[in-house]
Amino acid sequence: MIDVDKINSRTLESKDYWKITCQLESVGPDLLCRIHGGDHHLGAVSRSQWLDHQATTECLVMEGHREDQIALHTAHKLCRASHRNVVCLAGIHFDDLEPESIKEISSSVASLVRQAARLLEDQRLQQAAKSSKFLQQMEEGTAKVAAECEDFLATPWETLVTQNASSVTEAFARQFNGQIRVFAPLYLSNVCLNNCVYCGFRMNAKFKRTTLDVEQAVCEARTLAEQGYRTLDLVTGEVPTDRFVEYVAKTTEKILDRTDIQHLNLNLGSLTTDQYRRLRTAGATGYHLYQETYDPRAYFRVHDGGQKRDMARRLAGLHRAIDAGFETVGLGILLGLSCLNVELARLIRHATLLHQDFPHLRLGFSLPRIREVDLECSFVAETEVSDTEFMKAMLFLRMKFPKANLTLTTRENQQIRDVLLPLGISKMSAGVSTSPGGYMDVHQRETKQFMVSDKRSLKEVAKAIERANWIATYE
Ligand code: SF4
């Protein structure tokens, strides 16, 4: 994470022979950028204004000079990255340049401008996260819950079970009639415009992307319905365009219309209120939007590109979904990105504040642990969350929110799932594929979002639920 306060003035220099420089200087809220190389002079000047959420750019060039494209492109890009008004001065002069050298200089300038834009965008996003009122409100109660959570995590598992199992199971029998809903995720697409370094679908991962067409998605849903499922989670990478959202909305309508599936929960990432509304109108039941981590340092470290890098925007995403009519919402953190007890405390604060604002909400939680994704993924989890810590974290959440849905996915192995089953789990996935088309076409199983640990079928998981004296339900 960069120190946002230190880039009020910054000079970037190309490492090559040409030593091109890109100087950034804050002028109050605005920004001055100077691009020079060789004999310094003023070749062109461009201004870009941030108005109505877009950059409007114009340029003046000195007679006989050719830096207008550099000045124009730089001012525009930096304005879009920083959301500030930008003036860019460009003057580069070297005598007797060969075409090859001109190419090298152009590529140096482009690379410097990319670096500068990234710095400025990071500054803007980090400041937005820092000044997010909601994040500040969350922080107010976090320390107390984190300390409580720390004590809980430090208590032996056997003691926690002895002390709490009977009250947890009694509450579960009361709140959920002892029913555990079994569901499957249906992956519609593995196209994603974000670059989360821990995920198999990240934009930079090289593999052939697949998006099911509506008919293929209906076939997948029908296959699952024939196996007995009535609830599915539709999952995609994050593609926040109206066109993509319309495709998911149409798919939702067709699945509900033409198969025995009764509930579709969506996991598409952070969208606009209108986009959420379209999906709710299409008949989707719930919306899951996991923050992954509430720790800004970890957040900016692992979300390397795409709109998900905007932490404040993601944090406000569930509010937009609720405003659009979703009353069933799922929250979650990816375990392993930052300190467990603090992350859990922030998740609890997030849910508590949402519940205060919207008392009618049906909340749900999931705590996925980071799993191996693909061979090219070099990401290593910051903190290892052990099996016992994971189980304690699930129990802690269950005790804090006796009425909320608690989901246990197939990221966890059979042993852990069977131990947790009697302790208030209300949703479990089973017979899972994490690639688009994976239920019908075995070849598609190559492009997974993550590796599945518990490979049991729906029937086998239903039997395990019965052995725990609960009732498996699919609706
Ligand atoms: S975690 Fe979600 S948003 Fe991030 S790369 Fe994976 S699919 Fe895309």
Query: Same domain, yes or no, for 100 and 139?
Result: no
For position 295, what pLDDT does the model report?
94
Ligand 1 center–CA 119 separation, angstroms:
22
For position 381, what pLDDT does the model report?
82
Residue 368 DSSP SS3: coil
For position 371, what pLDDT does the model report?
79
For 58, the domain range is 4-130
How many C-beta atoms surround the C-beta of residue 143 within 10 A?
11
Number of domains in the chain: 2
Domain boundary among 75, 107, 130: 130
CATH for 81: 3.30.230.100
Domain boundary among 106, 130, 154: 130
Domain boundary among 130, 155, 170: 130
Q: Is the separation of the CB atoms in 238 and 306 below 8 Å?
A: yes
For position 445, what pLDDT does the model report?
53
Closest approach atom of ligand 1 to CA 303: 4
How far is it, in rounded angstroms, from Cα 235 to Cα 219?
Answer: 16
How far is it, in rounded angstroms, from Cα 79 to Cα 81?
Answer: 5
For position 450, what pLDDT does the model report?
64
For position 448, what pLDDT does the model report?
60
For position 449, what pLDDT does the model report?
62
Query: Same domain, yes or no, for 279 and 368?
Result: yes
Query: Same domain, yes or no, for 101 and 64?
Result: yes
For position 376, what pLDDT does the model report?
72
Query: Same domain, yes or no, for 126 and 190?
Result: no
Burial of 222 (0-12, 13-18, 19+ CB in 10 A): middle
Query: Same domain, yes or no, for 93 and 143?
Result: no
Ligand 1 center–CA 372 separation, angstroms:
14
For position 1, what pLDDT does the model report?
55
For position 259, what pLDDT does the model report?
98
For position 40, what pLDDT does the model report?
87
For position 420, what pLDDT does the model report?
96
Query: Same domain, yes or no, for 293 and 368?
Result: yes
Query: Same domain, yes or no, for 168 and 122?
Result: no
Find where tokens 């196209």 sit: 191
How many C-beta atoms surround the C-beta of residue 336 within 10 A?
23
Q: Which residues have any ligand 1 atom within 6 Å of their CB?
A: 192, 194, 196, 199, 201-202, 237-238, 269, 308
How far is it, in rounded angstroms, from Cα 269 to Cα 288?
Answer: 8
Q: Which residues in the chain show pLDDT less than 70?
A: 1-7, 374-375, 442-450
Query: Same domain, yes or no, for 243 and 389?
Result: yes
Q: Is the separation of the CB atoms in 350 and 294 below 8 Å?
A: yes
Query: Same domain, yes or no, for 21 and 150?
Result: no
Largest Cα–Cα separation, the chain? 85
Q: Where are the beta strands (DSSP E) in 302-414?
A: 328-332, 362-366, 405-408
Query: Same domain, yes or no, for 283 and 399?
Result: yes
Ligand 1 center–CA 453 separation, angstroms:
20
Query: Same domain, yes or no, for 375 and 431?
Result: yes
How far is it, in rounded angstroms, from Cα 187 to Cα 102?
Answer: 47
Query: Same domain, yes or no, for 109 and 145?
Result: no
How far is it, in rounded angstroms, from Cα 290 to Cα 321?
Answer: 13
For position 6, what pLDDT does the model report?
54
Residue having the nearest C-alpha atom to atom 5 of ligand 1: 202
CATH for 417: 3.20.20.70
Closest approach atom of ligand 1 to CA 308: 3
The dihedral through the CA atoms of 368, 374, 375, 377 has a sign that is: negative
The one-character DSSP state at 370 is P
